[in-house]
Amino acid sequence: MALMRYAEALNAALREEMTRDPSVFLFGEDIGRYGGVFKVTRGLQEEFGFNRVRDTPISEQAMTAMAVTAAMTGTRPVLEIMYADFMPLTLDALVNQASIYEYIWNGQVKMPFVLRTQGGGGAGAAAQHSKSLDSMVAHIPGIKVVAPSTPADAKGLLKSAIRDDQPVVFLEHKLLYNMRGEVPEGDDVLVPLGAASVTREGTDVSIFATSRMVHESLKAADALAERGISAEVVDLRSLKPLDLNAIKKSIAKTNNAVVVNEGWNFCGYAAEISATIMDFCFDDLDAPVARVTMPDMPIPYSEPLEMAVLPNAEKIVAASLQTLA
């Protein structure tokens, strides 16, 4: 085990996969000479050369279309989109190309590319640089969506994503890049796509969380424990494919569910998980499923206002208590 930051873990994953497979290459805005705005690609251009770590102009739509064709023709591109807020520019390539080519060409092409991006609020980055658009990409059939919450998962999931033959959107969180954590060493330590992780076991209420909200949920679980309530925190990790068994197993134990996601509430990722719980766990529920999400509004620049609207541990505690009322 090595203690490293989330950004360093991602960097290690990229380095290991580029070393292992010469067809893996990176491109994106400011990722080469500058090492990326969050320093995830630091040192890789020096190590692997300009050909495999390419700086691009500000042109997300063209970059994503490039990734699609590169993947179709036998390489494994890893594209960085600097902010998740710019994901709408990538959508045509995702919705009309990447997600369906394998299908419409009857399996004659594979689409092994990874689109890395980062989102989330809490950094005072305001309405154009703080969004979580998880549901927008998770909505597309044929695209996998991953959101690691720890350095270990960041490394293990990114390696799995690069090796996967389907397009994977890899959602990082800007407030997690500096988080330190133990990361298992070894080139082949992978975290499989489609597997949730029970971060904290409990018996009274299941909190299903994604990305940074896992850490807010853990804080909430501590606060609930002080009230004698045992909360289980499940880190979904793979937003899609979803680990339905982990959800069913947890609810069978606790009979109560709170879903936490930093995206907007309406048609959001938490709404999908809530509906899935009602589809598959209805007779195990002893209360309506509660959601803790971002209200349907722009993210304010003002720090007090931003803190007021983002989901946090306090709101998760309140939702859990309401569920158990």
Which residues of this protein are in contact with another protein, per CB under 8 A? 255, 282-287, 322, 325
Nearer to another protein, 16 or 232 (CB): 232
Helix (H) or strand (E) run with residue 229 in it: none
Helix (H) or strand (E) run with residue 98 in it: none
Nearer to another protein, 58 or 278 (CB): 278
Nearer to another protein, 104 or 325 (CB): 325
**Residue 199 Cβ vs another protein, minimum distance, rounded to whole Å:** 24
Which candidate in 129, 139, 173, 215 is catalytic?
Answer: 129
Question: What's the CA gap between 63 and 61, in Å, rounded?
Answer: 5
- How are the residues of the chain apportioned to helix, strand and coil, as percentages rounded to the nearest 5? 40, 20, 40
Question: How far from 324 is each of 223, 257, 321, CA to CA, in Å?
Answer: 15, 10, 5
Which letter does DSSP use for residue 57 in this model?
-
Nearer to another protein, 287 or 318 (CB): 287
**Residue 214 Cβ vs another protein, minimum distance, rounded to whole Å:** 26
Nearer to another protein, 188 or 283 (CB): 283
**Residue 275 Cβ vs another protein, minimum distance, rounded to whole Å:** 14
**Residue 288 Cβ vs another protein, minimum distance, rounded to whole Å:** 8
**Residue 310 Cβ vs another protein, minimum distance, rounded to whole Å:** 26
Active site residue 129: yes
Question: How far from 76 is each of 13, 36, 63, 97, 137, CA to CA, in Å?
Answer: 14, 19, 14, 16, 20
Please, what sign has the CA dihedral across residues 119, 69, 142, 195? negative
Which letter does DSSP use for residue 84 in this model?
G
Which letter does DSSP use for residue 202 in this model?
-
Q: Which of the residues are catalytic?
A: 129
